[in-house]
Structure 1
């Protein structure tokens, strides 16, 4: 696919090799920018269970040229089924196909998705340095002077901070921004074999602890559950994670109940508290700019965190290609992304608050349906 060349910059440093960072690096490199990508993890690993990929997220991955690989290595479905927590069917959310040839929705194991993106980074011959981050940044009229954590220095036309919700780039260059704020919920995840007969994503509502199931491969799913978060001094060990999640699923029927009765201590289980923030404008400072969780961190309620990060990386490159100077491109990127990211974050947090209040499942379903419909609009 032909990409319009970016003429205002020749070099860029992308800090952070996660989904948002790789999407940005790929998008810039495809438009003629010489990109360096760095990541703090010396092994460039990713942890986690599956990830839900909505239609809008699949649309963004198609723009990166990665849709077919995701379809081959993940799981594609056409609807989300809503159940009461005891297994009683409420309704099916038919996921519309938002573009011709684009699947409606799906899921994939997060490590597989990262490997797909890493291969594309390699194909584009983007240099990757691991175990490395930035320690200082200084804007100049025509670029950014960078000091790296290993003591070396460099100069780039653009620096992109894609280094997670705890962004070091943000802390260095954006003093008007703050950390993500806890939402009061925590998220459980278990990766396990697919229940017999399951052929769509499922949500279980009406319980104090809503849950859901996402197919991620022909024989693999992950179950998530949201619970009120209680601060504690020590993290749970593997045994406590297993026993606690099994107990939390006690009241559930349907496929969630099947998972409770089938899960073993060999299945991967994780728990983390949730936090979210839409950082205030400006999202750029001189020639330093933020993308992804560094600037618009959301909760998993709309399954759109990864999608928003990929979209932001694409939009940043598109706007730099459309405008004659860097400042105009960065502002256009910010204005194009701000309201869409705000909608995702505000809706996600509102759904979480409704869940904490044990609100009406029908209201919950309408909020999800409305938000997903808005996300289908072009970005």
Structure 2
């Protein structure tokens, strides 16, 4: 597909080598920008279980040329099935194909997805420096002087902060923003082999602790569960994580019950409290701009955090290209195009979380979920 080149930005620094940062690096490089990418982790690793990839997220990955690899290395399905927590089937979610040749939904292991994106970054010849972050910025009308944590310096036409919900770049350049706030829920995740009869994603509702299962490859899945978050004085050990999750699944039927009965200490289990924030505008300060969790951190209720980050990287590149030499106009257009969509995702996700904490009905949960997913299907 013919892409309009960016003329107002020749050299860009991406801070953060996660999904949002890599998506922005790819999208900018494909429009003629010289990109440097840095990440604080010396090994450029990613931990975690699987990731659900909705139709809109697959559409975004198609735009940066990675759909075929995701299809080959992940799991693609055509719908998601809703159950009562005891295994009683409620309904199938309406998940229409939103573009010709685009799968409706799917999943992939997060480390596999990162390797796919890292491969694209390397294919484009984007220099990557690891174990590094930004310690100081000096912004001027036509560029940004950057001091790195190793004492080296460089000058860029644009600096993009995609360094997670705990963004250090946000703290440096955006004093009007604040840390993401706890939502009152925590998220459990387990990676485990696929139940023999599972053939699509599943949600289990009507329980204080809703959960869902996502196929991530022909033989692996991950399951998430949302619970009210309780502060603990100490971290859970691996044995405590195993025992606690197994107890939380008591009373669940269907494949969720199968996971409870089949899980072992060798399966990867994780728990973390959820936080979220839609940061107030402006999302840019001179030639410094934010995207992804640094500025629109959401919860997993709509499985759209990664999709929103990839979309933001694409939109940033598109609007800079459309703006020609007027970089400020391009950054403003990016912000105005992304803000309402990210706001809808975050507000809908938080509404689902409040409903779960207040023991709302499965029907109301499905109604909010389907409405939000339908809006996500619209062009971005």
Q: Which runs of 4+ in 1 moved over 6 A?
A: none
Which residue of structure 1 aligns with residue 342 of structure 2?
A: 341
Which residue of structure 2 aligns with residue 295 of structure 1?
A: 295
Residues 207-233 of structure 1 show CA distances to partners (whole Å, capped at 9, x for unaligned) of 000001000000000010000001112
Once the 2 structures are TM-superposed, how far is the Cα of residue 197 of structure 1 from its aligned partner?
1.2
SS for the counterpart of 1:94 is: coil
Distance 2:234 2:116 in 1: 35
Q: Could you list the runs of 5+ residues in structure 2 that have no partner in the other structure?
A: none
Once the 2 structures are TM-superposed, how far is the Cα of residue 37 of structure 1 from its aligned partner?
0.0
Distance 2:237 2:138 in 1: 43
Which residue of structure 2 aligns with residue 312 of structure 1?
A: 312
SS for the counterpart of 1:111 is: helix
Which residue of structure 2 aligns with residue 329 of structure 1?
A: 330
Q: Could you list the runs of 5+ residues in structure 1 that have no partner in the other structure?
A: none
Aligned partners of 1:189 and 1:222 also within 8 Å: yes
Residues 75-126 of structure 1 show CA distances to partners (whole Å, capped at 9, x for unaligned) of 0001110000000000001310000010000000000000000000000000
Once the 2 structures are TM-superposed, how far is the Cα of residue 2 of structure 1 from its aligned partner?
2.5
Aligned partners of 1:78 and 1:94 also within 8 Å: no
1:246-285 equivalences under 5 Å are 246-285=246-285
SS for the counterpart of 2:111 is: helix
Which residue of structure 2 aligns with residue 378 of structure 1?
A: 379
Which residue of structure 2 aligns with residue 229 of structure 1?
A: 229
Q: TM-score, normalised by structure 1?
A: 1.00
State the aligned residue count.
379
Distance 1:200 1:171 in 2: 41
Distance 1:2 1:15 in 2: 27
The answer to whether residue 75 in structure 2 is matched with residue 75 in structure 1 is yes
Distance 2:190 2:10 in 1: 44
Aligned partners of 1:82 and 1:202 also within 8 Å: yes
Distance 1:182 1:72 in 2: 36
Once the 2 structures are TM-superposed, how far is the Cα of residue 311 of structure 1 from its aligned partner?
0.1
The answer to whether residue 136 in structure 2 is matched with residue 136 in structure 1 is yes
Which residue of structure 2 aligns with residue 356 of structure 1?
A: 357
SS for the counterpart of 1:144 is: strand
SS for the counterpart of 2:93 is: strand
Once the 2 structures are TM-superposed, how far is the Cα of residue 160 of structure 1 from its aligned partner?
0.1
Residues 246-274 of structure 1 show CA distances to partners (whole Å, capped at 9, x for unaligned) of 00001100000000000000000000000
Which residue of structure 1 aligns with residue 149 of structure 2?
A: 149
The answer to whether residue 115 in structure 2 is matched with residue 115 in structure 1 is yes
Compute the RMSD of aligned alpha carbons. 0.5
* Greater mean deviation of Cα atoms: 225-234 or 312-321: 225-234
Distance 2:331 2:314 in 1: 12
1:195-214 equivalences under 5 Å are 195-214=195-214
* Greater mean deviation of Cα atoms: 233-242 or 300-309: 233-242
SS for the counterpart of 2:163 is: coil
Distance 2:175 2:18 in 1: 23
Residues 130-166 of structure 1 show CA distances to partners (whole Å, capped at 9, x for unaligned) of 0000001111111001000001111000000000000
Aligned partners of 2:182 and 2:275 also within 8 Å: yes
Distance 1:360 1:350 in 2: 13
SS for the counterpart of 1:119 is: helix
The answer to whether residue 370 in structure 2 is matched with residue 369 in structure 1 is yes
Distance 2:110 2:313 in 1: 18
The answer to whether residue 194 in structure 2 is matched with residue 194 in structure 1 is yes
Distance 1:233 1:117 in 2: 37
Residues 324-362 of structure 1 show CA distances to partners (whole Å, capped at 9, x for unaligned) of 210000000000000000000000001000000110110
Residues 239-297 of structure 1 show CA distances to partners (whole Å, capped at 9, x for unaligned) of 00000000000110000000000000000000000000000000000000000000000
Residues 298-329 of structure 1 show CA distances to partners (whole Å, capped at 9, x for unaligned) of 00000000000000000000000001210000
Once the 2 structures are TM-superposed, how far is the Cα of residue 234 of structure 1 from its aligned partner?
1.5
SS for the counterpart of 2:213 is: strand
Aligned partners of 2:94 and 2:370 also within 8 Å: no
SS for the counterpart of 2:276 is: strand
